[in-house]
A and B are shown apart, each in its own frame.
Chain A
Amino acid sequence: GENVEQHPSTLSVQEGDSAVIKCTYSDSASNYFPWYKQELGKRPQLIIDIRSNVGEKKDQRIAVTLNKTAKHFSLHITETQPEDSAVYFCAASKGSGNTGKLIFGQGTTLQVKP
């Protein structure tokens, strides 16, 4: 079955610096790759996603890149702020037309120091 590996498990940056989180997936049939942010004690919420027919997507300070050949995708956060501190999860899916299942990475705890 699908396996998603996420690195690093923890990341600490200074406010204003950039943060990069990387994920690799095993199933070449995966075609949808969302990123979820989970603040302490809260539910995971989608922050950005990318489909397999797109190589890069940007939304203000966050961007996601996808390399289908290498089967990896990354989350980039620029100009980090203290409110970016949270746990970030990547996930991979074969699409809603299947079962809609998401396979999640292990999570990255991002700490942004003021």
Chain B
Amino acid sequence: NAGVTQTPKFRVLKTGQSMTLLCAQDMNHEYMYWYRQDPGMGLRLIHYSVGEGTTAKGEVPDGYNVSRLKKQNFLLGLESAAPSQTSVYFCASTKRTSGIAKNIQYFGAGTRLSVL
């Protein structure tokens, strides 16, 4: 049981290049999330998904696209990378429950991206 796995762990891009970050979870969670972490700004939600084939924008979606073709995978794409997208990216997932239920999010190990 690996939990949440992110690939790659590190990447360096040149401005204008594109790339896709992969998040895979083996916990059969319905909800998945992509965050970026920058110093002093906490974890900011980029996009999220509440189920296969469904995605929605978070707090900072500009410059990113996502897809959830399979329940276990959530992809984050950068079409034309910019230096402002230099950050650490975390994926997380949680199970759908009801009422005032805990939605504990489990995080991947992160992807450190530098855009030059």
Contacts and interface: CB of A to CB of B under 8 A. Distances in A.
Interface string A16-46: 0000000000000001101000000011111
B104 A34 contact: yes
B103 A95 contact: yes
Interface in A48-68: 49, 51-53
| Main SS at interface, chain B | loop
B100 to A, nearest CB: 5
Interface residues of A, number: 29
B104 to A, nearest CB: 5
A54 to B, nearest CB: 10
Contacts, number: 82
A28 to B, nearest CB: 14
A43 B54 CA distance: 26
Interface in B75-116: 90, 94-105, 107-110
Contact of A96 (B31, B35, B43, B56): B31
B74 interface: no
Interface of A: 1, 6, 9, 31-32, 34, 42-46, 49, 51-53, 89, 93, 95-97, 99-107
